[in-house]
Amino acid sequence: VTDSRIVEAFSELAPNYEKVMDWELRFMWGLGYRQFVEMLVQAVSVAEDDVILDIATGTAVIPNMLALNACAQGHIVGLDITASMLRQGAHDIRQTRTTSPISLVCASAMDIPFCGSAFDVSICGLGMHHLDVPQALSEIGRTLKVNGRLVIGAVGVPPFWRTWWGARIVARTIRFVYRLTHSGPRADAEVEAIDNLHTEQEWREILSDSLLDPIQVTVIPPRLFWGPNALIITAQRAPAPSAH
């Protein structure tokens, strides 16, 4: 799926994004959207003056919640490729407060427009499956300070998906149902993202390969045993290996 198809999908979704996510998350995990975001925000410790990057921020629900909970003196950058999602977020931020520690930046997570070691904390909620995961993690690793914290709220898959039945039947059925129930661009974006979904164990390996030490992975089980689960993954930026 090209970036422009992703932008088309999320531009279409932007006005109803929260409502749609709330329905989908309750269906998949029996958990409301706001409840999931709260779990994500609470999974990472944030100091008052931390500088935070929220990747694939969408309508900026995560920055808004962080600003309410902590970071009175710090700064939060919400980055997303879809301008309509950011516009919706900017509108919501204006409704919540008059002054805000949040900046919204329209850019790709594949090429984060900030210098190295700029952030104390990075967050990515429900966005990783739309990205090239190794490239996104490389950019996150570059822009995080050493010992900086990362939390990812990912759509994951149970180990069953790696079995013969899981690979052939479940993933194909989900692809088919998505095409039946969703519009063209959104169906394309979600169907393509299925190959980016990983198990808890795969995430641990992927993070270790990217100079990010996995700390904890919390699994929220799916409502239907074969469906996608939710993973809340915390990690820390490891120091670069020495030349010797």
Ligand X SMILES: C[S@@+](CC[C@H](N)C(=O)[O-])C[C@H]1O[C@@H](n2cnc3c(N)ncnc32)[C@H](O)[C@@H]1O
Q: How far apart are CA 143 and CA 77, in angstroms?
A: 12
Among 25, 44, 46, 58, binds ligand X (CB under 6 A): 58
Q: How far apart are CA 108 and CA 130, in angstroms?
A: 11
The distance of closest approach from Cβ of residue 46 to ligand X in the complex, given in angstroms and rounded to an integer, is 16
The distance of closest approach from Cβ of residue 76 to ligand X in the complex, given in angstroms and rounded to an integer, is 13
Laid out side by side, the sheet with 144-156 consists of 102-106, 75-80, 51-55, 119-125, 144-156, 229-237, 212-220
CB-nearer residue toward ligand X: 61 or 235: 61
Residue 113 CB-density burial (10 A; 0-12 exposed, 13-18 middle, 19+ buried): exposed
The distance of closest approach from Cβ of residue 55 to ligand X in the complex, given in angstroms and rounded to an integer, is 7
Site string for ligand X, 119-138 (x = CB under 6 A): ------xxx--xx-------
CB-nearer residue toward ligand X: 110 or 169: 110
Q: Which residue is nearest to ligand X (CB)?
A: 58
CB-nearer residue toward ligand X: 28 or 238: 28
Q: How far apart are CA 12 and CA 188, in angstroms?
A: 13
Site string for ligand X, 75-104 (x = CB under 6 A): -----xxx--x-------------------
Q: How far apart are CA 229 and CA 31, in angstroms?
A: 11
Helices (H) and strands (E) in the chain, counts: 10, 7
Among 64, 88, 108, 143, binds ligand X (CB under 6 A): 108
Contacts to ligand X from residues 132-191, by CB under 6 A: none
The distance of closest approach from Cβ of residue 1 to ligand X in the complex, given in angstroms and rounded to an integer, is 9
Q: How far apart are CA 175 and CA 171, in angstroms?
A: 6
By CB under 6 A, is residue 6 in contact with ligand X? yes
Number of residues engaging ligand X in binding (CB under 6 A): 19
Q: What sign does the CA torsion over 13, 17, 21, 24 have?
A: negative
Gap between the terminal Cα atoms of the chain: 41
Which residues form the interface with ligand X (CB under 6 A)? 6, 10, 56-58, 61-62, 80-82, 85, 108-110, 125-127, 130-131
